[in-house]
Amino acid sequence: MLSRSNNVLSRIYKAASWRHLPLNHERKAITTLQRDLIKKQELEKDELRPLYMDFQATTPMDPRVLDAMLPYQVNYYGNPHSRTHAYGWESETAMETARKQQVADLIGADPREIIFTSGATESNNMAIKGVARFYQSKKRHVITTQTEHKCVLYSCRVLESEGFSVTYLPVQKNGLLDLELLEASIRPDTSILSVMTINNEIGVKQPIEEIGRICRSKGVFFHTDAAQAVGKVPINVSDWKVDLMSISGHKLYGPKGVGALYVRRRPRVRLEPLQSGGGQERGLRSGTVPTPLAVGLGAACSIAQREMEYDHQRVSMLADRLVQKIMSAIPDVVMNGDPSQRYPGCVNLSFAYVEGESLLMALKDVALSSGSACTSASLEPSYVLRAIGADEDLAHSSIRYPGVGLTTEEEVDYTAEKCIHHVSRLREMSPLWEMVQEGIDLKSIKWAQH
């Protein structure tokens, strides 16, 4: 394959007209071709793709979702905001059906409270920045936690640069919020509190109902990033006393590029739009709603509502199977986060005396990650694990495992066996593991600084 690629490149080099095109243009074109050929070679090397287990990063689209979307990609292509002809009416009906009978019903909301967005990142930005800026004449304090998704934390940083005061609450060692500390942190000028429902790295489920009651009693708007929760656990925004909720399509077997923001009407929540335009989506999110994506999100929500109970039981079974196999075979394994207040489909394990990146590279037959997909390229230890007090070496050695309904028992067993094998192999090469086996307390050693 390599020689054939080189022959192709040599022919292109000879055919290139160096006299007619700028030199930098020629080099850029050939460099791009080389990169594409190398990528093609790498893809052709492996006959089998890795086993996909990175379901917290994204989920494959359910074929039933694709079936619902396809007619609106090909036949029913009208603009849903065109009110003067049948093409627009067809698309509008499909969009409103998704909004009302599927997305809103899944979380117990009024359909007028659902705003279609491009995903949870946009929804989080809209909620936090929008509420803070709308009420900034009277309230300029925002509260969130240290374990939120980066888009929440960075939105708060932006508000700080605009003169807002932001409190980043610490979490306990189990990843849960201290509710007394939360209540004590609320000030008369606090406008909004943002807390993630289920953490995307360690799977901890926060006590959302209790937090909602505290916020409602204090007159503070409550926003939750529920991207990892919607469609996986039962949700009722009225019971939870949530004022704003972010939803992502591709986390529940729907399409990428679509999500929603729930914005409560009574008591009414006001927010300043992030973008200006034609005033679609109650004037909060201007721009043409992509009908196929909205339909896809609605179909995913409808399927999730019907199959949630079965999926949760299966996810719990698979997660227990994975954790039991790994932790019974390998010593010095730590499960991060609260063992009971969690979603079973997100398990984060730290393997002492093993570098997480080395383990991921060794597990090339299984597609996993060490944390959030948004920060997985960074070599820094997970800020979520550091926030729960994990030692830096353990924070570096964490792997995030799923327990997902589409995964089979055989795939779970395969993943566990591969993990056990490679952890044992990497520890055999580790001088730290050798020292521990000899009874040396590593924490008592004063390492030399260079």
**Contact status, residue 122 vs residue 289, Cβ threshold 8 Å:** no
Q: Which of 301, 346, 374, 419 is catalytic?
A: 374
Query: What is the residue type of 171?
Result: V
Q: How many CA atoms lie within 13 A of 135 on its CB side?
A: 21
Describe the strand order of the beta sheet including 165-169 as a list of residue ranges.
114-117, 259-263, 244-248, 221-225, 190-194, 141-145, 165-169
Calpha distance 63→57 (Å, rounded): 19
Q: What is the DSSP string of 192-254?
A: EEE--SB-TTT-BBP-HHHHHHHHHHHT-EEEEE-TTTTTTS---HHHHT-SEEEEESTTTT-
- A 10 A CB-CB count for 134 gives 17
Token pair 């730590």: residue:
334
- Which residues, other chains included, contact 189 with Cβ-Cβ below 8 Å and sequence gap of 6+? 138, 139, 140, 141, 165
Helices 291-329, 86-97: axis angle to 10 degrees equals 30
Q: Which 8-state DSSP code applies to residue 389? A: T
**Contact status, residue 362 vs residue 425, Cβ threshold 8 Å:** yes
Helices 150-161, 120-134: axis angle to 10 degrees equals 30
Whether 374 is catalytic = yes
Q: What is the DSSP string of 105-124?
A: HHHT--GGGEEEES-HHHHH
128 phi and psi angles, rounded to 5 deg? -75, -55
Burial of 136 (0-12, 13-18, 19+ CB in 10 A): middle
Closest by CA to 203, choosing from 318, 344, 313, is 344
C-alpha of 76 from chain center: 31
Calpha distance 375→136 (Å, rounded): 31
Calpha distance 369→264 (Å, rounded): 35
Catalytic machinery residues = 374
